Amino acid sequence: MSLEQFSKRDVAPGYIFYNAEPKPKTGWEFFKRGFSRALKGELFVGLWIVLREMFAKGNTHTVSYPQEKLAMGPRYRAIHKLLRLQESGSDRCIGCGLCEKICIANCIRIETKLDENSRKEVSQYTINFGRCIFCGYCAEVCPELAIVHSADYENASEQRAHFGLKEDMLTPLDEFKANKQQEFPGFGALSDDADSFVKKTPLAY
């Protein structure tokens, strides 16, 4: 092996050299090169491809928002939603306050009172979505699966107090009576195979 083969390592068998045109140096040479390339029709071919794809039917990948909305995944953590009991339609929340205690953003406030039967009920449930980081801890810790993350990601408002009251998150009665409430639709919900993990507790006697 000769020294010349070592110095020309970029040349392999079958290597094809590209004879590039000389780089223009003056303005007139730049003009001649651009004019000659325009006459070849490459520019018009590119424009034709753009126009063809622009007006082709069934080739659009955009969504006409807000008329059309993309379907969010079942585990997506968006605006909270309070669910009702399927049997009675009453609030599923028992006012235990675990979601308020575990909230790392300190944005959940719960106020409870005693009803006519001396049972605790939730009188006010608010979430400050300006502070909420949508971590999902409140949905995971809820023992009654009363609070979940829905797929409602539109929370724009002119007032900070909006979209934070209990009435805004609780399933409306007319929607509940029409069987439109999906059971455990959001983050922190039971999985489809949750029943298979339940084991019978052995009795101590």
| Residue 137 neighbours by CB under 8 Å, 6+ apart | 99, 102, 103, 104
Structure tokens at 64: 């006409």
**Residue 160 has what pLDDT?**
65
Examine the pLDDT at 98 and tell me if it is beyond 90.
yes
> What are the two backbone dihedrals, phi and then psi, of residue 57, each rounded to the nearest 5 degrees?
-80, 140
Identify the band that residue 66 occupies on the pLDDT scale cut at 50, 70 and 90: confident
Within 10 A of 110 (CB to CB), how many other CB atoms are there?
Answer: 19
**Cα(132)–Cα(8) distance, rounded to whole angstroms?**
64
Closest CA to 114 of 98, 127, 95: 95
- Domain edges within the chain: 80-191
CATH class of the domain defined by 80-191: alpha beta
pLDDT at residue 45, rounded to an integer:
84
Judged against a pLDDT cut of 60, whether residue 184 lies above it is answered with no
Report residue 28's pLDDT band, with 50, 70 and 90 as the boundaries: very high
Q: Quick one: pLDDT at residue 191?
A: 66
Q: Tell whether the model's pLDDT for residue 74 goes beyond 60.
A: yes
pLDDT at 161: 61
Q: Which two tokens stand for residue 19?
A: 């004879």
Kindly state the helix (H) or strand (E) to which residue 110 belongs, with its residue range.
strand 108-114
pLDDT bin (cut points 50, 70, 90) of residue 11 is low
Provide the pLDDT for residue 103.
92
pTM of the model: 0.54
Q: Per the omega criterion (within 30 degrees of 0), is the bond before 66 cis? A: yes
Calculate helix-pair angle for 27-39, 42-54, nearest 10 degrees. 50
Q: Please list the alpha-helical segments (H only) found in 41-177.
A: 42-54, 98-102, 137-141, 166-169, 173-177
Q: Between these two residues, 122 and 168, which has the higher pLDDT value? A: 122
- Residues 101-155 pLDDT 10s: 999 999 888 888 888 888 888 888 888 887 888 888 998 899 888 888 887 777 7
More confident residue, 44 or 98: 98
Across-strand partners of 120? 114
The values of phi and psi at residue 24, to 5°, are -70, 145
